[in-house]
Amino acid sequence: MLTRAFTVLIFLMLPTFVFGGIYGYVDERGVYHFTNVVPVGKRYHVVIPDKDVQVVPYEPNQNRYDSIIHQYSSVYGIDPHLVKAVMKAESNFNPYARSKKGAQGLMQIMPETANFLKIRDPYSPDDNIEGGIKYLKFLDEVFQGNLDLVLAAYNAGPKRVMEHNMRVPPIEETRTFIKRVKENYRKIKKSNEG
């Protein structure tokens, strides 16, 4: 509890604009350490991404990225409603989201996938959304349009889907993810029809 309060205090003391990243970790004694030097050790996590960012409270806005979504969806031939449904499930429209496993940004792209897709800045909405849509297109081609397999591969990785004989892996998180995205997809499509 003290660590959380200390983290909030640090954020309140930061200037409105931050130049360079802030990294942190909690040691064995429960002490929180911060640095603005890019760390070598894996125990550090990004507190503030390494770029000029405005530190503002996060409030989800489901329509904020529509123009970027539509732009890249038309380029890669992916339904923008599906992209938005994945984004809602992955980050709830938070461009600075980071999972415990290291997935980053709006579309929660893993670092290895970001390298594969040549994403320069996973926290840039433009780069992240384009990368996520390119990845959905790639998975759509690999799994021949089977939405359940595309979503399973997006969540658990294509290798896992292939290892399970082109079926959804028996991973509860993946099955829940598929249900959540499909429900989001249905709602988003319905709201845009009306």
As annotated, the active-site residues are 90
In this structure, the chain runs to a length of: 194
Amino acid in the structure at residue 152: A
Token representation of residue 134: 């390119």
Taken in order 86, 89, 93, 99, the sign of the CA dihedral is negative
**Cα dist. 45→97, 144, 189 in Å?**
12, 37, 36
